Structure 1
């Protein structure tokens, strides 16, 4: 186990949500931070709040040169990068038949290609320092929900990206983890709840803890402990890890029966709400010019 004091940590999607909470926690323990996001105002507000040992970089994870420039800023400021947290992510709304194809593509670009760009840019320095890579996936890699196909596909994709990367760099002294969260009280989830009554009703209908929401603070604390351990998996809440082992059962018709029963009603409602909104992403994501936000 190793602490973050003196370590240089790159966090994408660092302006809000889990990225910002993790930044605060690591900074209190002496980490040096490179915070990357497209959401310029809250990004610079957070950097000003934290003070020293922080550089803020307006960067787009869908553009490799942009991420290479962000890494270069961190290397110039701190001599290298020890830890990278590929956290930036967005979601789209609507069924496969109704979602805006451009929005679907943007989710894949940010959530999958953006993770690749982040890791690709930072990896030479991470290897040099025998560091740690954390790829932020989701419970969505283990389960499915109607109207969120792009999000589920992207989070399953980055889980397997992390699994493959782990094999490639283990002999170089680099550890790789993936984080899997249920619903966290982030701007992404709050935006979906505000936009879509069908989304709120779906959460209410999910059995047991599957529809519950965890605070950003609790999520940040688990990320912090996982980074200390250079964990292979970080599960938020802890029960999410059980579903990794139960994936074949979770995907059976029996386990899906409640969602199968609700989908014929909920999905047309969601599609109607998306049509009324005139967008398949949150207003905040669209205002960023098809940019990225913290997942």
Structure 2
């Protein structure tokens, strides 16, 4: 019996499930007969995703950085769908622009959602994962391979999330919990569409042709879901990223060399302004943060 067959009828938790890769993963896992709990900040969109799935689902409008709310959600998921066998920490936000000009609270929010939120997710569902000998998948990024200029918060958060997952993997292996890291490249989400500003376009222009390609959400989700099937310690989306791992020590040198040529030329065209949180997901996070400050 395959691992995919073993998971049929069991439950999975996906954060950041209202759109993009999270919603794509929900579709992939539901097609395998896995019940899914969708977590995110956009209740209406979560419900829309849930209605499209052929399995029992539940939706929770929750901020992954809120420890108490996430613990309540973990208990609610377990009551409704049973203890999850799979938890996917996918929620993420990004901003672009020079670090010196960035808004301190926005920069910090990227770290909180992408890194702290992943840790809160793991902590909240760890009792269930231990009881099920489950699988925790941390969605990382090629931003952890070679950090790009003008994306300091995002790159730092994804490198931190990767390191967190590696540490958690070592801690939990003897207890029967597998921790995987999913490395995703350019994916056609609203965040990446919004992030494709002048600087990133320039940097992408210096990549090899295959590395510039943007992949459809459902294709990326399918690669990640196969990793869930196999309880893979590393999942590459696209698979050719595996070949980049040995080159990681060289990538910061390459990025620095390209940046020294590109950034002065951009500076001559005028200042590069901070973007704020990117995409519709970033907008939802800003609205949710505003509600939290002004109940």
TM over 0.5: yes
Distance in 2, Cα, partners of 1:176 & 1:270: 45
Counterpart selection for 2:163 from 154, 160, 171: 160
Residue 223 of structure 1 corresponds to 224
Distance in 2, Cα, partners of 1:133 & 1:127: 10
Deviation at 1:136, TM superposition (A): 0.6
Counterpart selection for 1:280 from 265, 276, 281: 276
User: After the TM superposition, which of the residue ranges 4-13 and 208-217 deviates more from structure 2?
Assistant: 208-217
Q: Which runs of 5+ in 1 are unaligned?
A: none
Residue 113 of structure 1 corresponds to 116
Residue 289 of structure 1 corresponds to 286
Residue 30 of structure 2 corresponds to 27
SS in 1 for 2:119: helix
Residue 154 of structure 2 corresponds to 151
1:185 correspondence with 2:188:
yes
SS in 2 for 1:289: helix
1:136 correspondence with 2:153:
no
Distance in 2, Cα, partners of 1:184 & 1:172: 34
Distance in 1, Cα, partners of 2:258 & 2:199: 15
Contact 1:198-1:269 at 8 Å conserved across structures: no
SS in 1 for 2:39: strand
Contact 1:15-1:43 at 8 Å conserved across structures: yes
TM-score by length of 2: 0.90
Distance in 1, Cα, partners of 2:185 & 2:270: 21
Deviation at 1:263, TM superposition (A): 2.0
Judging changes above 3 Å, is the alpha-carbon distance between structure 1 residues 226 and 267 closer, same or farther for their aligned structure 2 residues?
A: farther
CA deviation vs aligned residue, 1:43-69 (integer Å, no higher than 9, x gap): 111112225410010010010111112
Residue 208 of structure 2 corresponds to 207
Distance in 2, Cα, partners of 1:94 & 1:162: 27
User: After the TM superposition, which of the residue ranges 240-249 and 122-131 deviates more from structure 2?
Assistant: 240-249
- 1:82-101 → structure 2 map (5 Å cutoff): 82-101=85-104
1:265 correspondence with 2:268:
no
CA deviation vs aligned residue, 1:32-52 (integer Å, no higher than 9, x gap): 111000012211111122254
- CA-based RMSD of the aligned residues comes to 2.0
Contact 2:64-2:121 at 8 Å conserved across structures: yes
Deviation at 1:207, TM superposition (A): 3.2
Deviation at 1:257, TM superposition (A): 2.4
1:18 correspondence with 2:15:
no
Distance in 1, Cα, partners of 2:264 & 2:72: 47
Distance in 1, Cα, partners of 2:188 & 2:98: 23
Judging changes above 3 Å, is the alpha-carbon distance between structure 1 residues 45 and 271 closer, same or farther for their aligned structure 2 residues?
A: farther
Contact 1:106-1:290 at 8 Å conserved across structures: no
CA deviation vs aligned residue, 1:187-236 (integer Å, no higher than 9, x gap): 2101223xx34433433343333322111111011011100110011111
Number of aligned residue pairs: give it: 285
Contact 1:8-1:80 at 8 Å conserved across structures: yes
Q: Which runs of 5+ in 2 are unaligned?
A: 290-295
